[in-house]
Amino acid sequence: MSLLLAVDGAVVEFQARKGLLGSVPVRALDGVSLRLDRGETLALVGESGSGKTTLARVCLRLQEPTRGRVSFDGQDITHWTAKRLQQFRRRSQGIFQDPFSSLDTNMTVGQIVEEPLVIHGLRDGRQEAVYKALEEVKLTPPQEMAAKFPHMLSGGQRQRVAIARALVLQPELVVADEPVSMVDASSRAEILYLLRELQERHGTAFLYITHDIATAYHFSQRIAVMYLGRIVETGATREVIGNPLHPYTQALLKAVPEPDPDNRLRRRAVVEGEPPSPAHPPSGCHFHPRCPYTFERCPVQAPPLLEVRPGHWAACHLWPGADVAARLGEKPQKG
């Protein structure tokens, strides 16, 4: 597979109001880098407020980074004008969290799915393309579904309309921001299966953003775990979930419910405390106030993202070195 999307050292800062006249800088992304190959699914996992949606907006160039670079298919698109970005928009699309608020209630399903074709001036075969997109997302018969309005559909059907709208241009990149969090459990599984089927058929690359690490396991080839604007662990999905290196990733996995009746009697281990405010992040490692393995270096120095095992990266002072053996009871990696 060849590289499609690259983000290098992305920093995004906002000004948050403080009092009547003052403001404070808030760093939503703090030097984030990632890679996404053609036809690959990368899951971006983390708690609310970790910066996942901001990174999604940067990848779609809905948000220009304060510093850093965004490249698509080998071209630096960081500072492209709106006119040049239209070329990029035809090749990249987004699926958003709330399928009702992301759809125009005054338009029919057919008009909603057709809109990207109209915007990009594609006149030939529009109706056929709309019907084909609706059939691909299992909204049949397409002629009947195209005549309906969003309020006439279920939550799962509305999200399928959003997927059809995103895929009608046959994009190379789709950024799916919590695409199943607003639908029920049965629809959630169906939609994720549908996205995988469409990916295999068209070779689309997905950046899948979620707070649910369990769905990331079933849908992605690689995972990147975010905490307070930084990527703290990344690697192949089965490797990260089977052998998590960062204490934050370990805590997220412990919080995943297990299908065991005894769970009602078992107290689950969860991360203590609340995520700090991005306006006042902790010094050093952002996770150290909530980490059970904190030691002297953690509040002082931010750990770099290092390759601890082949293809498996973590930003934690426990890796590599002998410190991890004493704290986790594991054989230390040589650094």
pLDDT tens, 212-226? 888 899 889 999 999
Q: Answer whether residue 268 shows pLDDT above 60.
A: no
Q: Answer whether residue 330 shows pLDDT above 60.
A: no
Asked if residues 11 and 66 have their Cβ atoms less than 8 Å apart, the reply is yes
- In this prediction, residue 334 carries a pLDDT of 38
**Phi, psi (rounded to 5 degrees) for 234:** -155, 150
Q: Average of pLDDT values for 186-214?
A: 89
Q: Average of pLDDT values for 149-177?
A: 93
Task: Return the higher-pLDDT residue of 183 and 249.
Answer: 249
* Mean pLDDT of the residues in the chain: 88
Asked if residues 69 and 148 have their Cβ atoms less than 8 Å apart, the reply is no
111-115, 175-179, 223-227, 263-267: least confidently modelled range: 263-267
Query: So where are the chain's domains?
Result: 3-105+171-328
Which of 94-108, 158-172, 264-278 has the highest average model confidence (pLDDT)? 158-172
Q: Answer whether residue 45 shows pLDDT above 50.
A: yes
Q: Write the CATH number of the domain with boundaries 3-105+171-328.
A: 3.40.50.300
pTM as predicted: 0.88
